[in-house]
Structure 1
Amino acid sequence: MDIVLGTHQYGKAEVRLVHVVRDGERHRLTDLTVSVALAGDLADTHLTGDNTKVLPTDSQKNTVYAFARRHGIGEIEEFGLRLARHFVDSQPVITRAIVHLQQHAWNRVGGHSFTRSAAETRTATVTVDGPDTVVVSGLTGMVLMNTTGSEFFGFVRDEYTTLPEAHDRILATAVDGRWRHASSESDDWAASFAEARRHLVEAFVDTYSLSLQQTLYAMGQRVLEHRPEITEVRMSLPNKHHFLVDLTPFGLDNPNEVFYAADRPYGLIEGAVRRDDAPRWEESWWNL
């Protein structure tokens, strides 16, 4: 029986970077977590411990900081592109670089004062793989709720089913969504992100939902209909269940007003919505 080395990569995970642009008395703050993963002709370090082709992960971390000082940040897609292209162009054995970025939101409360926001986290993943460059933008932790306009009925019943049908329920989720761009070149990454986010939210609001699966499709469909630069949208939507509390032991009715918000277990709905002519989205571009 032969034993061989399978797919492998290595890198520096979760580099914390805070960048301040000191424009007079009004500063600009960017707070990032950056992860790098490199792949290429690196079998020797696994098979024999030969590190002559290995760029230390500490050097990768230092590159993140040096590029922030030398080039600034800009939009996170731009920063990720600069880093990924640098690693592939500067290291002869590296054929693929994946840079994943999370941007943590702060709200301005003064010229140089900020408060950490509870809003969702903006994300970007840039992959340079040989001649191909892929940019995936997204967000995570965007909590949405409709207090009506949602039903769930007509589902399969077996001997273990106890769930009653619901004809007026709360629908809540925390969106983890990512979307692939048709091109790695853009005139305005910020506007593209803002508009994609807006259409996700508006589709959630406007859809009378018979299932969270239906809502996921409607959200992705709306983004693709309005944003031609995006070719595929992938989402992971936990169903943040809200159960009606039985108040009859206290002599009270409950006309859909008092709920118990359960944190677990929860249903998890995941799916992709894509243009039918979109190129295949490799899993390595989806998960770091």
Structure 2
Amino acid sequence: MSGDGIVLGPNQYGKAEVRLVRIDRDTPRHEITDLSITSQLRGDFAAAHLDGDNANIIATDTQKNTVYAFARDGVGAPEDFLLRLGRHFTGECAGVTGGRWEAEQYTWNRILVDGEPHDHAFVRGGTETRTAVVVFDGGEQAVISGLRDLAVLKSTDSEFRGFARDRYTTLAETDDRILATSVTARWRYNSTEVDFDAAFADVRGLLLESFAETRSLALQQTLFAMGRRVLQARAEIDEIRFSMPNLHHFAVDLTPFGLDNPHVVFFAADRPYGLIEAAVQREGAEQSHPAWNGIAGFC
């Protein structure tokens, strides 16, 4: 208490976006792990805020150094690496009672030489990014995995009709349109005893398969079908959240040039765009799990 009725509220601190590249060189075929790690500690830090007493403060530079030191022994799945960091800081550092650790993993693909993947030459992948968040709170551990900017497109098998109309509605109904979106998804596990690399690959595949196979009546319906497919297949996942913008493709009017357009030439509009967001959950799952705190936006 500061004496004037003003008190310190919830707080955390740490080192953000520690860039870590680990090259595994055990064999002639090298492997790259490229991550951005954020470490944020929670605990008894009131004295630092109120009195400038840093006795319980683990320097943010120390947190950065710990990331690099732990990487010396290998990284593995980003979720497992974050769990290692969380267990270290909550188990070894006085005053630390919990925290939040986040990772983004970037993709590198092998360069093809004479049609074969090169052992140690790589090209940066597309826009898709793998994400992970680990939260330690009150003795509980939670893991949220995800991906961002997974661009997908269906050139047919999508429609949009039967929507409400009023005097401001100009959109025409259609039974054949391009459906494209950039998927951001995060899913919360109900266990930390998971092969996270295998689970991530499976979830990504399930999302893509569902998107491809579902005849879309609306992006909302496609979103739910994708989430349902994941929860049906993965018992260790309790909920999955999506943020999916419509990447609109509009047929270009070629009649001024004396040409028809049999649905083959399109203008890709980057804005404005429809933004569809929803959570797909198991019945009875916690509606607002505290692990989601600190995740900006819907997911």
Whether 1:49 aligns to 2:49 is no
Letter of the aligned partner of 1:63 in structure 2?
Answer: T
Determine which of 216, 222, 226 is the counterpart of 1:215. Answer: 222
1:262 to 257, 269, 278: 269
Q: Would you say how many aligned residue pairs link Structure 1 and Structure 2? A: 286
Spell out the pairing of 1:1-288 with structure 2 (5 A cutoff): 2-69=5-72, 71-109=73-111, 110-118=118-126, 120-186=128-194, 188-280=195-287, 281-282=289-290, 283-284=292-293, 286-287=295-296
Q: Distance in 2 between matches of 1:166 and 1:46?
A: 59
Residues 174-232 of structure 1, C-alpha deviations (whole Å, 9 max, x = no match): 1111111110112x222111111111011111111111111111000000011111111
What SS does the aligned partner of 2:55 have? coil
Q: Greater CA deviation, 16-25 or 218-227? A: 16-25
Percent identical among aligned pairs is 55
Contact 1:85/1:97 (8 A) holds in 2: no
The unaligned stretches of length 5 or more in structure 1 are none
The one-letter amino acid of 2:171's match is: L
Amino acid at match of 1:199: L
RMSD: 1.8
Structure 2 residues without counterparts, runs of 5 or longer: 112-117
* Conserved 8 A contact 2:12-2:99: no
SS at match of 2:242: strand
Say if 2:239 and 2:280, in contact at 8 Å, map to a contact too. Answer: yes
Q: TM-score, normalised by structure 2?
A: 0.90
Contact kept? 2:143, 2:188, Cα under 8 Å: yes
Q: Is the 8 A contact 1:139 1:176 kept in 2?
A: yes
Q: C-alpha separation between the residues in 2 aligned to 1:96 and 1:55? A: 13
Matches of 1:44 and 1:209, distance apart in 2: 56
Local SS of the residue matching 2:65? helix
Asked if structure 2 preserves the Cα contact closer than 8 Å seen for 1:125 and 1:285, the reply is no
Matches of 1:164 and 1:106 in 2, distance apart? 42
Deviation string 1:80-128 (CA, Å, 9 cap, x unpaired) is 1001111111222222211111111111232222111116211111111
Amino acid at match of 1:219: M
Alpha-carbon offset, residue 286 of structure 1: 4.2
> Is the 8 Å Cα contact of residues 133 and 145 (structure 2) preserved in structure 1?
yes
Q: Give the TM-score, by structure 1 length.
A: 0.93
Distance in 2 of aligned mates of 1:80 and 1:165? 47
Q: Which stretches of structure 1, 4 residues or more, deviate above 4 A after TM superposition?
A: 285-288
* Separation (CA, whole Å) in 2 of partners of 1:243 and 1:88: 53
Counterpart AA for 1:107: N
Residues 44 and 50 of structure 1 are in contact (CA less than 8 Å); yes or no, is this contact kept in structure 2?
A: yes
Aligned partner of residue 72 in structure 1, secondary structure: coil
Decide whether the 8 Å contact of 2:108 with 2:125 is kept in 1: yes
Measure the CA separation in 1 of the matches of 2:285 and 2:185.
18
